[in-house]
Amino acid sequence: MHKIILIIQREYLTRVRKKSFLIMTILGPILFAAFMVLPAWFATMEDTEVRTIAVVDSTNIFYKVLPETQYIKFEYPQGTSLKELQDNFEFSGYSAILFIPHNILASNTTILYSSKQPSMTVTMHIKNALEKEIENEKLKANNIENLDKILESIKTNINLRSITWNEDGKEKESNTGLAMGIGYGSGMLIYFFIFLFGAQVMRGVIEEKTNRIVEVIVSSVKPFQLMMGKIIGVGLVGLTQFVLWILLTVVFIGGVQKLLFPELSKTPTEQVLAQEIMNSQQLDSSSIPFTEPEPQILEEIFASLGDVNFILILGMFLFFFIGGYLLYASFFAIIGSAVDNEADTQQFMLPVTLPLIIAIFVMINTINNPEGSLAFWFSMIPLTSPVVMMVRIPFHPAAWEIALSAAILVLTFIGSTWMAGKIYRTGILMYGKKASYKELWKWLRYKN
């Protein structure tokens, strides 16, 4: 036991002391922050070009009634025909011509002329504006008294509350968006963690093998101790890095957002959280742009936040995080021991990375349907369960499902480390032999 601690210590310290660790620790959150903030930033930057659209309105119903936005303007040139506008389009400065025929109320058809494909934003805007205007026209045609008031009074905004009940029959209010966010985030983290640090285990094994130091080491410790020491040491490095990343990411995102876009760029979850904080501080909530929060909705979010079992989620996250890593790290250790250099790893990498990639695909399906049979089976298969089960946990799967998935994972990684240990101790001393799957099978069955 003392030996394995020495090995863990070495694996941990040599990696944490590396310059690259420091660089990655600082760069990681910047990249994360960039991933989270940049899309929002690009979204705000999108389409700042002002598009002026000439409206040729044969009905005269729509004269100066089409609503304009910051970037979409309408002009209603008088005294020119559609033909003239089309002929002079190039020099007119218009980005499109909207032709509204006489019979639009009957035909429901209108035409947008332009030299380039108009953007989705523009066509949607025009379509919505026209629909609304025509609906109004049709209503007016019925000569209803106090139409404006009636229209105002029938405006409705449905608020769908989703309530689930657990095995005891106790009702729980759930917030699907929040559960999705948590599930997606933790699934992705586990995926990245396995890839990043599993590959580090592999590289560490290859390094020892190509250095030829491995023969000296295994004359003092059991190959299994060396392998486990490395897997645990690298895992601890990963945990350290992740904790640092999360702390720094929070700091960075906070800082960047305050600097660039005080309110715009938050993710929905963050917006929800931000609202809550603001509300609880009795601040003026109208400064938040995306909705006017109704007290009811906030209450719900409070209720569902209280309902999210953070201790369970955090506990299960750590469990699947570590379990998934241990399982895959043993595979990566096998690959490392089977090859002489990193270039040869390709043929073995695919079967290891494929289940992880499948897990990501299943994860997307799982978020939409966390209780489906696809979600169930892939959260039981140990190769995909760390990612897929983690997505399901915020949706309150049955306790026995979590327990079964966890038990299968534990049994599998015990089996895989045992298997890895057997292949590893033969592999690390084999040089110049092109390892095939058949060869690995033979190594597995060697007595010692």
Partner 1 sequence: MDLFQAKNVVKEFSNHLALNKVSISVPENTIFGLLGPNGAGKTTLIRIINQITAPDSGELFYEGRKMTSDDIYSIGYLPEERGLYKKMKVGEQALYLAQLKGMSKHDALKKLKYWFEKFEMTEWWNKKVEELSKGMQQKVQFVTTILHEPKLLIFDEPFSGFDPINANLLKNEILELKRKGSTIIFSTHNMSSVEELCDHISLINKSEVILEGQIFDIKKNYRTNVYELSYLGDPEKLQAGLGASYELLTNSSENHVNFASIKTQTEDADNRLLKELIPLVNIVSFNELIPSMNDVFIRVVEETNKKNSKA
- Binding of partner 1 at residue 218 (CB under 8 A)? yes
**R_g of the chain computed on alpha carbons:** 31
Can you list the positions of beta strands (E) in 42-94?
51-57, 72-75
Q: Which is nearer to partner 1, 325 or 443 (CB)?
A: 443
The token duo for 341 is 């250099």
Which member of 14, 69, 80, 128 binds partner 1 (CB under 8 A)? 14
Site residue total, partner 1 (CB under 8 A): 24
The amino acid at residue 250 is V
Taking residue 2's Cβ as centre, other Cβ atoms within 10 Å add up to 5
**Contact call for residues 36 and 271 (beta carbons, < 8 A):** no
Q: Which is nearer to partner 1, 215 or 371 (CB)?
A: 215
Q: Which is nearer to partner 1, 316 or 334 (CB)?
A: 334
Choices 7-15, 69-77, 98-106, 297-305 (CB under 8 A): range interacting with partner 1: 7-15
- Binding of partner 1 at residue 220 (CB under 8 A)? yes
Which member of 162, 211, 368, 436 binds partner 1 (CB under 8 A)? 211
Choices 25-33, 46-54, 125-133, 210-218 (CB under 8 A): range interacting with partner 1: 210-218
Q: How far is CA 368 from CA 109, 174, 180, 358, 372, in A?
A: 36, 14, 8, 16, 9
- Binding of partner 1 at residue 219 (CB under 8 A)? yes
Cβ contacts of 59 within 8 Å, gap of 6 or more: 100, 101, 102, 104, 105
What would the x/- binding string for partner 1 be over residues 401 to 440, using CB under 8 A? Answer: ----------------------------x-x---------
Taking the complex as a whole, the smallest distance from the CB of residue 428 to partner 1 amounts, in Å, to 10
Quote the DSSP letter at residue 218: T
- Binding of partner 1 at residue 46 (CB under 8 A)? no
Question: Which of 371, 246, 253, 248 has its CA nearest to residue 317?
Answer: 246
Choices 51-59, 163-171, 219-227, 239-247 (CB under 8 A): range interacting with partner 1: 219-227
Query: How close are the terminal C-alpha atoms of the chain, in Å?
Result: 21
Choices 173-181, 211-219, 291-299, 329-337 (CB under 8 A): range interacting with partner 1: 211-219
Q: Which is nearer to partner 1, 87 or 207 (CB)?
A: 207
Taking the complex as a whole, the smallest distance from the CB of residue 422 to partner 1 amounts, in Å, to 12
Question: Which of 383, 431, 404, 430 has its CA nearest to residue 198?
Answer: 383
CA 191 to chain centre: 11
**Contact call for residues 43 and 290 (beta carbons, < 8 A):** no
- Binding of partner 1 at residue 373 (CB under 8 A)? no
**Contact call for residues 332 and 356 (beta carbons, < 8 A):** no
Q: At 120, phi and psi to the nearest 5?
A: -55, -45
Q: Which is nearer to partner 1, 109 or 219 (CB)?
A: 219
Q: How far apart are CA 242 and CA 24, in angstroms?
A: 11
What 3-state DSSP class applies to 96? strand
- Binding of partner 1 at residue 44 (CB under 8 A)? no
Choices 80-88, 142-150, 209-217, 241-249 (CB under 8 A): range interacting with partner 1: 209-217
Which member of 64, 132, 140, 212 binds partner 1 (CB under 8 A)? 212
CA 352 to chain centre: 22
- Binding of partner 1 at residue 291 (CB under 8 A)? no
- Binding of partner 1 at residue 24 (CB under 8 A)? no
Taking the complex as a whole, the smallest distance from the CB of residue 9 to partner 1 amounts, in Å, to 9
Which member of 151, 216, 250, 374 binds partner 1 (CB under 8 A)? 216
C-alpha angle with apex 63: 59 to 66, nearest 5 degrees?
110
Binding site for partner 1 (CB under 8 A): 3, 6-7, 10, 14, 18, 207-208, 211-213, 215-221, 223, 429, 431, 442, 447-448
